[in-house]
Structure 1
Amino acid sequence: MAGRSGTSLKNNYWPEDLLLSILATLPAKSLLRFKCVSRHWQALIINPHFMEQHLEKQQKKDYPQLIFASRASKPDMDMVLESMAIVDVEVGDGEGTKTRKGLKRSSSNICHLQSANYFVSNSCNGIICLFGITNVFLYNPGTREFRIVKMQKKEFSPDNSSVDTFGIRIAKETNKRAYNDIFLAVRVFPLYQLVGFGRDQVTKECKIIRLFTPNEENPIHECEVFTLSSDAGASWKGLGEVAYFIRAAQLPVYLNGALHWILDERHANPSEVIVSFDLHTEKFQAISHTSCFSVVSDRSRLHHMELLSFRGSLCLVEGKYDWSSRQLNISIMNQSNGIWEKLFSINRGLMNYRFPLAFPIAELKDGTFLVLRHKKNLEIFDPESQSDSEVLIQHEKSVDYYAYSESLVPLYGVPLVN
């Protein structure tokens, strides 16, 4: 880039505060290109303070980015990660032009994981975390950087033949797959280990948290932490046994520097429903839930219980199904006083008992929610009218969606290249 006189654009042409403010609104892909403008621009973009400013701007956007995860068609059974953006689309009809929401696929960050055994964990600050039997796979769709971290200790597993070997393959634009052929049968989880990914709000370090059961006789989890850094010799740090009975087979939720899981119904204190792990202090702490809808201590009677994050707060989803009706109740925790309040419900009559209700994924600026129905259709749900609007995308087979914000947060790994 050059100024009017043909000289390079440096700080004397652009006030640095203005330049940083403009750059922070741009997608990560553009910023990676702009690092080549000059050494000055490169130094600005890789500065940790700018990375935080960029992440904050991206998180305040009206619509989140989406990653959908699915399995490719047989025989390879690879896992496919693809990024999509929510966009406003003008649609004409007999009454004039209207604006509706649509999806725009990204053609530059499609990633295939060659693994027969994988589990999706969670996303944090633009980074997606997946794990297998022996490895954790981290991927930043914005920068296309990935990193594979080998686990240190082995958890108990009744299936000793289960082995994963993460491999990477990029789907080039000239070799795109037919997405109506990809599927993911159900959301599956290992029973003997939980993996979460988050960021220390004080040091800004990214950490992998692993809870695992070392043997069948002792159902208590042990915990170990891996801190991402440029140190090639970095290793897991053991924290010993966890004092809380954490429920198996669930996704963690990252929020405000902590990871959250639901406690098992056999936990000693029935009023403690959720446990959080502070990524800075590396300590566990239980959270009570004064239920808005039901007797939470009788968790065994609930068909479904899961955690979400909306509006910068922790949300608890309680699902009740019987032969006459089905309902999801979503409550939100007030960050200032810890009191839980009802956010909204999704009510449905008996339609198809085999399928779960539409599960909320992200809230949009108009108060509606993105929901995944039957693990195939991405739709928009209005809590006030209890109605569904247009279907944004429809698959013949099941997929999982995850909301994230683009970031420049480094993994100290390797970039994906075609």
Structure 2
Amino acid sequence: MIFSLRKEEILIDILVRLPAKSLVRFLCTCKSWSDLVGSSSFVSTHLHRNITKHAHVHLLCLHHPNVRRQVNPDDPYVTQEFQWSLFPNETFEECSKLSHPLGSTEHYGIYGSSNGLVCISDEILNFDSPILMWNPSVRKFRTAPTSTNINLKFAYVALQFGFHHAVNDYKVVRMMRTNKDALAVEVYSLRTDSWKMIEAIPPWLKCTWQHHRGTFFNGVAYHIIQKGPIFSIMSFDSGSEEFEEFIAPDAVCSSWGLCIDVYNDQICLLSGFYGCEDEGLDKIDL
């Protein structure tokens, strides 16, 4: 019995060091290996090790077939379709070309990634846009079911995706607003494969949410909202389903080029702009 347990420990210690692509092949080796690799405890152990040691990290890129092409309007690659590829984080040498899970790369965007899963949907979002959770390493995906909570057509839709450690679940947060400022917030759970409409929306959010780019970090969705000249950060915890508001620094006075993102495990407000000299314009001191 002790020897048998020792053998399993050694096997687990070997398998957790392998990338997901290799583990998928072992699912067909025998039933005991398939049960082991597919167990929730092994998945958690494998994931924790890779995150801690930053092992098997890849970048998912949408690019022209010729990655190193020069910017030239006469370049024949300009008219070709983009393609998805995986690049190792250390070398950035293309290691695997991917086929989009729906067979097309046009008009699709990435709305978050976590632990090897990528959330993909339409580049221009609508309330009925298909939402896919895709694992490009093993080329498997799941499509979120159509929500039955919505009976309005929304003009603006925002989407965030990520993992919530406290509830051990992957979440998609979808915020929608009509032209008449009616607001709806839905949360999709990968574990239950279902949507939930959030009923308790604070009054300050119903009339102030704008279609600014948001982000997702540690199970919380973040958005920029604006009340006249004042900017705030709205947070929504996809686990506790609670909203919070944080006033942005006084230096934030314009929404042009403003976005919120994650940098060095912290939420940051970023402002992107081009210098006048870069655009061939004159610079005038006021």
Task: Name the TM tier (shorter chain).
Answer: 0.7 to 0.9
Cross-structure match for 1:155? 153
Cross-structure match for 1:193? 157
Does structure 1 residue 142 correspond to structure 2 residue 103? no
- Please give the alpha-carbon distance, in whole angstroms, between the structure 2 residues aligned to 1:353 and 1:58: 47
Contact 1:275–1:284 (Cα < 8 Å) also in 2:
yes
Structure 1 or 2: larger strand share? Answer: 1
| Alignment TM-score, normalising by the size of structure 1 | 0.53
Letter in 2 for 1:38: C
Letter in 1 for 2:159: V
Contact 1:200–1:280 (Cα < 8 Å) also in 2:
yes
- Please give the alpha-carbon distance, in whole angstroms, between the structure 2 residues aligned to 1:86 and 1:39: 34
Among 199, 204, 227, the residue aligned to 1:266: 227
Cross-structure match for 1:312? 265
Q: 1:346-385, aligned counterparts within 5 Å?
A: 350-352=277-279
- Please give the alpha-carbon distance, in whole angstroms, between the structure 1 residues aligned to 2:236 and 2:64: 31
Cross-structure match for 2:179? 216
Does structure 1 residue 69 correspond to structure 2 residue 69? no
- 1:13 CA displacement: 8.2
- Please give the alpha-carbon distance, in whole angstroms, between the structure 2 residues aligned to 1:204 and 1:40: 25
Cross-structure match for 1:12? 4
Cross-structure match for 2:188? 226
Deviations 1:161-212 (A, max 9, x none): xxxxxxxxxxxxxxxxxxxxxxxxxxxxxxx000111223233222221111
- Please give the alpha-carbon distance, in whole angstroms, between the structure 1 residues aligned to 2:236 and 2:25: 37
- Please give the alpha-carbon distance, in whole angstroms, between the structure 1 residues aligned to 2:100 and 2:163: 23
User: Residue 25 and residue 308 in structure 1: after superposition, are their counterparts in 2 closer, same or farther (change >3 A)?
Assistant: farther
- 1:256 CA displacement: 1.7
- Please give the alpha-carbon distance, in whole angstroms, between the structure 2 residues aligned to 1:254 and 1:12: 43
Contact 1:198–1:207 (Cα < 8 Å) also in 2:
yes
Among 222, 245, 254, the residue aligned to 1:299: 254
User: Residue 119 and residue 239 in structure 1: after superposition, are their counterparts in 2 closer, same or farther (change >3 A)?
Assistant: same
- Count of residue correspondences: 255
Of structures 1 and 2, the one scoring higher in RCO (CA 8 A, sep 6+) is: 1
Cross-structure match for 2:30? 38
Cross-structure match for 1:128? 118
Deviations 1:8-38 (A, max 9, x none): xxx7385444433332221101111122333
User: Residue 121 and residue 155 in structure 1: after superposition, are their counterparts in 2 closer, same or farther (change >3 A)?
Assistant: farther
Letter in 2 for 1:121: Y
Contact 2:16–2:45 (Cα < 8 Å) also in 1:
yes
Deviations 1:197-228 (A, max 9, x none): 12232332222211111x3122x531012222
- Please give the alpha-carbon distance, in whole angstroms, between the structure 1 residues aligned to 2:238 and 2:131: 18
User: Residue 62 and residue 200 in structure 1: after superposition, are their counterparts in 2 closer, same or farther (change >3 A)?
Assistant: closer
| Alignment TM-score, normalising by the size of structure 2 | 0.74
- 1:320 CA displacement: 4.5
Contact 1:221–1:241 (Cα < 8 Å) also in 2:
no
- Name structure 2 gaps, 5 residues minimum: 66-76, 282-286
- Please give the alpha-carbon distance, in whole angstroms, between the structure 2 residues aligned to 1:239 and 1:76: 42
User: Residue 83 and residue 316 in structure 1: after superposition, are their counterparts in 2 closer, same or farther (change >3 A)?
Assistant: same
Contact 2:101–2:134 (Cα < 8 Å) also in 1:
no
